[in-house]
Structure 1
């Protein structure tokens, strides 16, 4: 593949927000604007300053942002102090879907977790994203737990 993966920088923020908004679910909850909504900037600054957060982008050959994801490195006491990698906000640009980029990007994220000492990698996907769930299962993820969320 001809993609590069790296930590996101400030100049990627508009592209990341566009990716997050580029589906039925995201359209209803994201605010695409330039300049970006201040809430995104505040969140980006917090993520960027936290050594246990990684906001990453996938770049194509022309150096355009064509994917994003966030990994949270979570310390825990269970399982004898096991660290977990939590992958969230995975998006691939429409024109790059089906190209293998998603697989390559998730495998990169898993290796990043392994390099940080994580023994478990976990993620969540909205139940309405059946295709995404099948994609993650093909990569070896198993629906081993029931997840619940409470919006505040």
Structure 2
């Protein structure tokens, strides 16, 4: 995938290693991320990026405006047997730079994810959001997502 112009000086493109400082800073820029991200040590993020870029089911993208990374998300395609062998997509790690929040950039990124999922013949797009992120829940609902399941996690 090459960069896709999204208007207003914005391009959505695959993430590169040079983008990691900006991506990790956005991941860490909220109360939850601040407790689990390590912007001072990019080594594990570099390792993860290598694994992601080697997997055709993984799409880590950035939104770049005028040469500056201002947003990111990860889109994963999950082939499965349920739903008559449907492929679903999973959205993770949606982050918008603090200077861009409220600008519509989150909508542009999510529309990219939805359109990309449709083009890949996914039957369903899903995401999880921490229970404390009520603003994010309203955002996803405005895009047509429905809170349909109870999620469980086990830290390993």
TM over 0.5: yes
TM-score (norm 1): 0.95
Alpha-carbon distance between aligned partners in 2 of 1:42 and 1:59, rounded to the nearest angstrom = 22
The alignment yields a C-alpha RMSD, in angstroms, of 0.9
Equivalent residue in structure 2 for 1:11, among 12, 15, 18: 18
Deviation at residue 37 of structure 1 after TM alignment: 2.8
Residues 7-86 of structure 1 correspond to what in structure 2 (within 5 A)?
7-33=14-40, 36-60=41-65, 62-86=66-90
TM-score (norm 2): 0.93
| RCO higher in structure (CA 8 A, sep ≥6) | 1
Tell me the residue number matched to 1:101. Answer: 105
Equivalent residue in structure 2 for 1:144, among 140, 144, 148: 148
Deviation at residue 117 of structure 1 after TM alignment: 1.2
Gap runs ≥5 in structure 2: 1-6
What is the total number of aligned residue pairs between the two structures? 149
Alpha-carbon distance between aligned partners in 1 of 2:120 and 2:74, rounded to the nearest angstrom = 15
Gap runs ≥5 in structure 1: none
Alpha-carbon distance between aligned partners in 2 of 1:112 and 1:13, rounded to the nearest angstrom = 23
Q: What SS does the aligned partner of 1:28 have?
A: helix
Q: What SS does the aligned partner of 1:18 have?
A: helix
Q: Which has the higher strand share?
A: 2
Deviation by residue 1:85-104 (Cα, 9 ceiling, x = unmatched)? 10000000001000011011
